[in-house]
Amino acid sequence: MPSRYGGEEFAVILPQTGPLRADLAETANGALATAERIRRAVAEVELPLPLTSDGLPAHITASVGVATLPAHAVDADDLVNKADRALYTAKQRGKDRVEVYVAG
């Protein structure tokens, strides 16, 4: 269930996607794998017109923060807060990436 969350931000609620695991193969139906699929899909968008001043095609990227209940958060507000922290970590680490919330 995607929805606009802020100016340039969207939230995607993924019920019953399963817990996050260290082994990506085990997360095929999980939030982390879905977040990475969304990030890749955004990166693959071909804009119909060049949007840069030098006439080259513009590229869209997505930074994604992932948090899950109950592994990272105790309620909906906490979940949004933790996902937001993970999002800002993704932005700080170079953008166009997926980061999972880590306490601390």
| Token pair recorded at residue 47 | 């804009």
The catalytic residue positions are: 8
The residue count of the chain comes to 104
Please list the alpha-helical segments (H only) found in the chain. 31-43, 76-92
Cis check: omega of the bond before 70, within 30 degrees of 0: yes
